[in-house]
Structure 1
Amino acid sequence: MVGPELARLVALLRQARTDLMDVEVKAAAGGLPKSVRDTLSAFSNDRGGTLLLGLDENDDFRPAVGFDAARIRDALASACSDDLHPPVRAEIDIVPFGGSLVVVGEVGELDPRFKPCYVAARGEYNGSFTRGGDGDRRLTDFEIHLLHTNRGQPEDDRQPVANALPEDLESVEVRALVDRVRLRQPRAFANLSSEQVLRRLNVLAEDQEGRLRPTLGGLLALGAYPQQFFPQLNVTFVVYPGLSAEDVPVNGPRFLDNRSFDGPIPVMVDEAVTAVLRNTSVRSFVEGAGRTDVYDYPAEAVREAVANALLHRDYSPYSRGAPVQITLYADRLVVANPGGLFGAVTTDDLGGEGVTSTRNSVLAKLLQDVRLPESGRMVCENRASGIPTMLRELRRIGSPPPEFHSRITRFKVVMPRHALLGDETMRWIAGLHQRGLTPTQHLALAEMRAGRPVTNGSMRNLGLEAHRATAELSDLVNRGVAVRIGERRHARYVLAPADGSAERGFEALPPARSVEEEVLAAFTDQSELSRRELEQCTGLSWTKVLRALNTLEAQGRIAFTAPARSPHRRYRRVDER
């Protein structure tokens, strides 16, 4: 992070008057606070974040008096490597700000295979944290359980269901499944009996007493009524008249619709999609030379969202009391399921070619051969095509891409109802007086204006290649209309403060100097300095100092006093007169 980006981020913090979800600020004037370790754990277990040390939140985020940047940088690096398990790999820099120095730590999300990251001295169940609001919250036992299951392949869907019998499966659908797999994979199934086919597909399995019973996956895909055994493994649907559950008109109804859908997954998908379409309006858009009438939410996009929620949800005993929830508000459709993303997939990966990972492998295999009642098509293709289909259908009618929110215990898809680039939004963009914006930059600004951070993945969902997405977002930052939070794959972009405080804050700083100029300025009179002394004087990392020394040496602006590998090697500035 460089000076201008830090200034804009601080202006954003001043506007919010508090920390942000993925930005934590500490004065650290008296040393590294112990709570920083909780934050390092929380950022690692969540989506990453930025740690700013040396700013006083109680003094309008001004530089903290008595802050020792070099000492705090070293203490933070030590905490990352020694106090957390597994160690946190953070990018730590010292950045000039307001005539002082600030330590900036960029913490990336930990690979799901190694979560949770916890404070070693407290142990896994007392020292694991996540972000909540603008602070850190200890993970619950259930959340830690989910992180553990994410390390391998859960087998909840292949377990036999107690008290269920083969007769609890829908016979017509069972015969159709057996016929289909025999035809599609004759080498594996053609010569097997129906019972053997169902065993091989994990529709049936023996319990501990040797009795043949439907598995959880088999019951959900082919059962006559799975809710007999799991009453809450269903779908609920609520329609609110306003923008929230509390937004109720005076003397008006609390709900416009409120129902639940039972049965196997194919039945629940069809009935849920029908209910959503029944409660939405039809609008028109121009396609080619004619006009097309469509629902606010394309049926195909809704179907994929509901099917994905039922396929990828957590089916462990912890979550069997929680249904998939569909909520329709005046301005958006929300589909939420228990359990966050599984495996190494992140929200930025969603929509990419071939991106897929499921915690329910048996169910995923079955649903590619099980029919939807209304159309006769398969519930899912199991080809990583669900999210791309959703994105394509929404782009086709001019709707913004959906938002994906993944937490440890919950995954949520939000489809906005309105078109992104309405007349009011276009007037607002014109008022920014930014010439040469691309169409996708217009869309990105509209998303930010709606309060939704934009990422490289968001731009890819709008149809850009990854390198072009980064270039267009960086251009918005350089124009001063957006602020970047985080680095590399964890970068999020939000609107810069509208009052110009970011620019005023930056102008109040000393003129920006290059790293080489920072190193040169450390030399006074005829002083000779070691590389370590240059690090302490400038607040720069040793790699930046070394790179600057090599450049200055090549330019003839510094000289050295000993060979490169000598422990006595020091540097002095060459008189340029």
Structure 2
Amino acid sequence: MNVRNLTEELLGKGESDRIEFIASARAENLIGRAVCALLNTKGGSVLVGVDDCGQVLGVLREEDADVLRLFLHRHITPQVLFTVTLDDVQGGRVITVDIPEGSDRPYVFDGAVYIKKGLDILAVDAATMREMVVRQSRETERWERRVAVGLAIDDLDRKLLDETVRKAQDRGYRFEEVHKPDAVLADLALARFGQLTNAADVLFGKRVALRHPQTRLRAVCYETDRGDNFIDEQLYEGPAFYLLEEAMVFLKRHVAIAAEFKPGQLARESRPQYPFNSLREGLVNALVHRDYAAFSGGVSVSIYPGRIEIWNSGHLSMGLTPEKLRSATHESILVNPDISHVFYLHELMERVGRGTFKIVQECRDMRMRPPVWQNKVSGVHLTFFGVGQGQISVKINERQRALLDGLGINESIRMDEYVERVGRGISDRQARRDLRNLVDAGLLDPIGAGPATSYRRTETKI
């Protein structure tokens, strides 16, 4: 399933507490209220160029998305990461605004605060506003927002900061005083009350590891799958962008590239054992969603002959599960919104809430076994399996075989329908395990969450 299919799926679901349709890109105030409302509730998507029935109304241009992106960034406070993209769908083009669940509520659009309640967008009253402010004040301050004691402008990599400004301006971001580093950092929520934050140190600190040793990244290439002997081991430190760059260099140094000649072609085709785009996406997720407050934490990359593991010392946000990460649509909850925002400005994050599905899809396109996420006490583990490493290594029972034989490509089934089809003698727990095993094998895609989850047959063959 590609981006077009994902957007068309949202169109097919219709409006809900997480989906809003707006007919015209010129209805900027309506769009601004909808984005603000979703930030203040569960997050979701606003689809522009669509009527209330989900009908695509016409052809929008890239310029329309650029104008809307700039408008929203100027009129919604505090600054927050959301993505505005132009998507091709059947019948034309729509602008999709993907919005995470906001971490710094209340969010304000043109002086007013809005929430989404069912299908309605409501301006909050004074009592609701007080409740939101009190709830926010009681929450523990995020580590990335805490003051970095003793950190000064001179401790930051100015070249990297200037590059961030240029990239942000290319994406339509506007700064109040672009030539003043302290003002730029304040605009990016990386400075508060004249003092730099921990996020500024993570992103731009030249010697961040001296103040925060947990920011280091360890990369190891092992000789065997048991991990008893290593071929190469490196410990990287510096700004998060440097860690990402060095980790990718390490991966490319040790990941094998296969070359083959296809019939009728003179030139050979090169194919890496792993999809580098997905590896980079996995590293970005590890760097922006990890728990920086844990002094024993970090990020590691482990290369084995048959797999690659990326670990970070974070945990999946409440409500997210490894199964949901593999699904086409799931909630987006940013653990470190300020750090995520700057990664987005560097074009290292494309769509809010869709990165993990892109990883799964790219692996399937390469006919690889789908990657596996594990949410353990020690942190989040993401495992990639190399080409030829047991693409489908799951035992299929008779119930599962009957289901796969009866489902066409892209056809879906819910768990209650599966139970009914199988007949008596299977519990909900057994049915859930059957479906989860087929998801792990890449034979089904979970769509949605909770009791309403459906499972769509993929193109993967047994």
For 2:256, give the aligned amino acid: S
> 2:170, 2:355 → 1: CA distance?
25
Corresponding position of 1:559: none
For 2:209, which of 219, 223, 227 is the aligned residue?
227
- CA drift of 1:169 comes to 1.2
SS of structure 1 residue aligned to 2:183: helix
- CA drift of 1:364 comes to 0.9
> 2:190, 2:381 → 1: CA distance?
29
For 1:314, which of 276, 291, 315 is the aligned residue?
291
> 2:364, 2:262 → 1: CA distance?
12
User: Does the CA-based 8 Å contact 1:473-1:493 persist in structure 2?
Assistant: no
- In the TM superposition, 1:148-547 aligns within 5 A as 155-182=142-169, 184-185=171-172, 189=176, 193-206=180-193, 212-246=194-228, 254-283=229-258, 292-316=269-293, 319-351=294-326, 352-353=328-329, 355-370=331-346, 378-381=347-350, 383-419=352-388, 438=404, 467-468=412-413, 470=415, 486=429, 493=436
- CA drift of 1:368 comes to 1.1
**Where in structure 2 are there 5+ consecutive unaligned residues?**
1-135, 439-462
User: Does the CA-based 8 Å contact 1:339-1:408 persist in structure 2?
Assistant: no
User: Does the CA-based 8 Å contact 2:171-2:345 persist in structure 1?
Assistant: no
> 1:432, 1:487 → 2: CA distance?
13
- CA drift of 1:205 comes to 2.9
> 2:374, 2:207 → 1: CA distance?
31
Q: 1:472 to 1:183 in 2, by over 3 A?
A: same
User: Does the CA-based 8 Å contact 1:203-1:214 persist in structure 2?
Assistant: yes
> 2:292, 2:401 → 1: CA distance?
51
> 2:348, 2:364 → 1: CA distance?
23
SS of structure 2 residue aligned to 1:163: coil
Q: 1:269 to 1:485 in 2, by over 3 A?
A: farther
User: Does the CA-based 8 Å contact 2:306-2:389 persist in structure 1?
Assistant: no
Q: 1:298 to 1:476 in 2, by over 3 A?
A: farther
- CA drift of 1:203 comes to 2.0
Corresponding position of 1:14: none
- CA drift of 1:219 comes to 1.6
> 1:180, 1:232 → 2: CA distance?
28
> 1:189, 1:432 → 2: CA distance?
64
For 2:234, give the aligned amino acid: R
> 2:306, 2:424 → 1: CA distance?
31
SS of structure 2 residue aligned to 1:381: coil
**Where in structure 1 are there 5+ consecutive unaligned residues?**
1-148, 207-211, 247-253, 371-377, 442-462, 496-577
> 2:196, 2:262 → 1: CA distance?
48
The structure that has the greater radius of gyration is: 1
> 1:494, 1:391 → 2: CA distance?
15
- CA drift of 1:381 comes to 2.8
> 1:436, 1:491 → 2: CA distance?
12
Which digits, 9 at most, give the CA deviation of each residue in 1:533-554, with x for residues without a partner?
A: xxxxxxxxxxxxxxxxxxxxxx
> 1:367, 1:280 → 2: CA distance?
25
> 2:431, 2:312 → 1: CA distance?
29
> 1:389, 1:326 → 2: CA distance?
20
Q: 1:390 to 1:484 in 2, by over 3 A?
A: farther
Q: 1:236 to 1:421 in 2, by over 3 A?
A: closer
Which digits, 9 at most, give the CA deviation of each residue in 1:215-249, with x for residues without a partner?
A: 11112122223212112311111222222234xxx
- CA drift of 1:321 comes to 2.5
> 2:337, 2:432 → 1: CA distance?
28
> 1:154, 1:288 → 2: CA distance?
60
> 2:363, 2:406 → 1: CA distance?
15
For 1:300, give the aligned amino acid: N
User: Does the CA-based 8 Å contact 2:309-2:384 persist in structure 1?
Assistant: yes
- CA drift of 1:403 comes to 0.6
- CA drift of 1:302 comes to 0.8
Which digits, 9 at most, give the CA deviation of each residue in 1:125-161, with x for residues without a partner?
A: xxxxxxxxxxxxxxxxxxxxxxxx9x96751111121
Which digits, 9 at most, give the CA deviation of each residue in 1:338-362, with x for residues without a partner?
A: 1210132221211433532121111
SS of structure 2 residue aligned to 1:294: strand
> 1:197, 1:494 → 2: CA distance?
49
Q: 1:186 to 1:265 in 2, by over 3 A?
A: closer
Q: 1:270 to 1:216 in 2, by over 3 A?
A: same
User: Does the CA-based 8 Å contact 1:364-1:382 persist in structure 2?
Assistant: no
SS of structure 2 residue aligned to 1:189: coil
User: Does the CA-based 8 Å contact 1:166-1:213 persist in structure 2?
Assistant: no
> 1:275, 1:439 → 2: CA distance?
43
- CA drift of 1:294 comes to 1.6
> 1:258, 1:493 → 2: CA distance?
36
For 2:350, give the aligned amino acid: E
> 1:265, 1:203 → 2: CA distance?
14
Which digits, 9 at most, give the CA deviation of each residue in 1:520-543, with x for residues without a partner?
A: xxxxxxxxxxxxxxxxxxxxxxxx
> 1:485, 1:384 → 2: CA distance?
29
- CA drift of 1:272 comes to 0.8
SS of structure 1 residue aligned to 2:186: helix
> 2:373, 2:421 → 1: CA distance?
23
RMSD: 4.2
User: Does the CA-based 8 Å contact 1:477-1:484 persist in structure 2?
Assistant: no
Q: 1:494 to 1:172 in 2, by over 3 A?
A: closer
Q: 1:472 to 1:182 in 2, by over 3 A?
A: same
SS of structure 1 residue aligned to 2:348: coil
Q: 1:202 to 1:399 in 2, by over 3 A?
A: same
Q: 1:491 to 1:436 in 2, by over 3 A?
A: closer
For 2:208, give the aligned amino acid: P
User: Does the CA-based 8 Å contact 1:311-1:364 persist in structure 2?
Assistant: yes
